A and B are shown apart, each in its own frame.
Chain A
Amino acid sequence: EADIYQTPRYLVIGTGKKITLECSQTMGHDKMYWYQQDPGMELHLIHYSYGVNSTEKGDLSSESTVSRIRTEHFPLTLESARPSHTSQYLCASSEFRGGGTDTQYFGPGTRLTVL
């Protein structure tokens, strides 16, 4: 069982607002990830980090930004939310084990609705 937390769980906001989705893990994992997922659909990687001060863009283009100032914290920010940003956002973390066998553990997700 992984200790990874996301807040808020649900968020409904108006267009143009700035929002930050929080993600924290208490396992000391070096690697962290953000995925975007529409209901019942596959996960799309939008950002990831190898460690403090490391951030990389994922496979799906996103207007969001991330930061990694502390190992345990990986917030995602949308400067100006739009209805097209409505989705579920999942945070994950993994311990770097090398050999491509890093198992990712997921938080509960944030369901974002932009009106």
Chain B
Amino acid sequence: GESVGLHLPTLSVQEGDNSIINCAYSNSASDYFIWYKQESGKGPQFIIDIRSNMDKRQGQRVTVLLNKTVKHLSLQIAATQPGDSAVYFCAENIKGAQKLVFGQGTRLTINP
């Protein structure tokens, strides 16, 4: 079946460093991608999205990169803070499917 997967289930970085969370997707028909952040005991929170006609999009301290050639998506968080500790999910919309497919999730831990 179709899947969105993450390369690493856990990632630890030092506070203040930049972090990169990766995501591989398998469906070349996917045309829209979203990164969500989920803190313990809460629902996923929208961070940033990108359409397939773009290869980069920036937000506040976050950047999403899309490489359609290798079907790879990444989320870069600049100058990580303790509040960035969470599980991060990528999700893809397969064109015509009208629903999102979520990946496994990466747990990001910020070390003081």
Contacts and interface: CB of A to CB of B under 8 A. Distances in A.
Interface of A: 2, 6, 33, 35, 40-45, 48, 50, 58, 90, 92, 99-109, 111
CB-based closest 5 A-B pairs: A106-B43, A43-B102, A100-B93, A106-B44, A101-B32
A103 B44 CA distance: 12
B103 A100 contact: no
B44 A90 contact: yes
Interface string B76-108: 000000000001010101111111101111010
Interface of B: 31-32, 34, 36, 41-46, 49, 51, 87, 89, 91, 93-100, 102-105, 107
B89 A42 contact: yes
Given A90-B43, A101-B32, A103-B49, A41 B104 contact: yes
Contact of A45 (B34, B51, B99): B99
Summarize A's interface: helix, strand, loop or mixed: loop
Contacts of B99: 33, 45, 48, 58
8 contacts: A48-B99, A92-B43, A99-B31, A100-B94, A101-B51, A102-B98, A107-B43, A108-B43
Given A45-B99, A92-B43, 13 more contacts: A33-B99, A40-B87, A41-B104, A44-B102, A45-B100, A100-B93, A101-B31, A101-B49, A101-B51, A101-B93, A103-B49, A105-B46, A107-B43
